[in-house]
Amino acid sequence: MADPNILTYLPPGWTEDKLKNATDEDYEALTEEQLQKTMDRVAAEHHAQTLKRFDELNAKRIARGAPPKPYPSDEHDGAAGRRGDQSQSSQQVPDPASENLTNLLDHVEGSDFEIFGFVLFRTYYTCDELSWEAFKEGFFELLDEGIAAAPADFNRVEDKVFIRIVSDDSLKNMSSEGVVLAYLVCMEEEEPTDSDDEDEWGDVIEPGLTTKMCLYVDEECIRSVVDKAATPFVKAVDVTTDKGRTIKVAIASLVPAFYAALLVYSSADVASKVSGDGIWRNIGPWDAGIESRRALDQLRIVS
């Protein structure tokens, strides 16, 4: 049973202002119990905000004659306020993928993006052009499969999905750290270059393609598509650090799942959700640890 007072909990000596501006050192000074209660409060506040977004979303759906979406619920329902059938189990937890999709839709529509998606760098050029064309065809077929499997609401923005493929011989055999540099060079450009074919290294990156991790393909990735591996993948590298942190991502999971996850979680937390075979497919079930960190990051942004 959730603590009904969790939304007002403060560690001894803390104020609301300190909670909003707390540093890592402040949290490290707390006892394990105090830290857990603080994390529970932050998670409960985040869930309450999610319910508010669902109120607004359902008001719009009802106005246009669509049925309302079911509300997520978790152990904080007693504190945050339940919607719907009060007899449902209080142990039901929210679905992060559903909440992430709602956030993605709000982000894309609220930002009025013309396109959104990823930049993908080609780093392998030894294969013949037929193999490269086969890779691209297979890649977009798998991308479309993932989009087709998304919840119906995603059709509001699916025509804006875009993958900018950068194919330039200067990227040949480039390391993951080099890919990060190439991405940052694109970020610093003021004007896009003119190109009738695939994009060149240095083309400006549109706001909707600005992500915490960018994509690249090497020989292993291309073969996973051309040879029809069980789960074809590309690689994603963290552009928020210079460490070249890289994971494999299932192509069918890139949009909306991977893009949506990167909007709200840190690159490290997203990368921690790779499957046993080393390939990222989804953010997985509710994880109190990463949800608390997500909520804390949002709290710091707001403050």
Summarised one tens digit per residue, pLDDT across range 250-272 is 999 999 999 999 999 999 999 99
pLDDT tops 90 at residue 44: no
Give the Cα separation of 214 and 205 in Å (integer). Answer: 11
pLDDT tops 80 at residue 10: yes
Q: Do residue 142 and residue 86 come from a single domain?
A: no
Predicted local distance difference test score (pLDDT) of residue 202: 52
253 vs 28, residue with greater confidence: 253
Give the Cα separation of 256 and 118 in Å (integer). Answer: 11
Mean pLDDT, residues 79-106 taken together: 64
107 vs 49, residue with greater confidence: 107
Mean pLDDT, residues 221-231 taken together: 97
Give whichever of 2-11, 66-75, 234-243 has the largest mean pLDDT.
234-243
Q: Is residue 303 domain-resident?
A: no
89 vs 233, residue with greater confidence: 233
Q: Is residue 101 domain-resident?
A: no
Predicted local distance difference test score (pLDDT) of residue 45: 78
Q: Do residue 35 and residue 142 come from a single domain?
A: no
140 vs 26, residue with greater confidence: 140
The residue whose two tokens read 């994971």 is 247
Mean pLDDT, residues 2-15 taken together: 84
Domains held by the chain: number: 2
The residue out of 66, 94, 122 marking a domain boundary is 94
| Structural domain containing residue 143 | 112-285
Q: Is residue 49 domain-resident?
A: yes
pLDDT tops 50 at residue 88: no
Q: Do residue 63 and residue 147 come from a single domain?
A: no
Q: Do residue 90 and residue 38 come from a single domain?
A: yes
Mean pLDDT, residues 277-302 taken together: 82
Confidence of residue 297 (pLDDT cuts 50, 70, 90): confident
Q: Do residue 206 and residue 245 come from a single domain?
A: yes
To the nearest whole number, what is the mean pLDDT of the chain?
Answer: 84
Mean pLDDT, residues 137-147 taken together: 97
Predicted local distance difference test score (pLDDT) of residue 299: 65
The residue out of 67, 94, 121 marking a domain boundary is 94
Predicted local distance difference test score (pLDDT) of residue 189: 57
Q: Do residue 65 and residue 184 come from a single domain?
A: no
Strand 161-166, strand 233-238: pairing: unpaired
Q: Is residue 71 domain-resident?
A: yes
Q: Do residue 144 and residue 259 come from a single domain?
A: yes
Torsion, Cα of 262, 267, 269, 271 (10° steps): 100
Q: Is residue 294 domain-resident?
A: no
Q: Do residue 53 and residue 153 come from a single domain?
A: no
Q: Do residue 155 and residue 207 come from a single domain?
A: yes
Buried-exposed string 8-39: b where 16+ CB fall within 10 A, e elsewhere: ebebeeeeeeebeebeeeeeeebeeebeebbb
Q: Do residue 218 and residue 254 come from a single domain?
A: yes
Q: Do residue 74 and residue 191 come from a single domain?
A: no
Q: Is residue 232 domain-resident?
A: yes
The residue out of 94, 122, 146 marking a domain boundary is 94
Predicted local distance difference test score (pLDDT) of residue 267: 95
Q: Is residue 259 domain-resident?
A: yes
Q: Do residue 89 and residue 238 come from a single domain?
A: no
Q: Which residue intervals of the chain are DSSP H helices?
A: 16-20, 24-28, 32-63, 77-80, 96-111, 129-148, 176-188, 219-226, 259-264, 267-271, 288-302
82 vs 142, residue with greater confidence: 142
94 vs 154, residue with greater confidence: 154
Whole-structure pTM value: 0.72
Q: Is residue 215 domain-resident?
A: yes
Instruction: Kindly report which listed range (69-73, 77-81, 204-208, 294-298) carries the lowest average pLDDT score.
Output: 77-81
pLDDT tops 90 at residue 130: yes
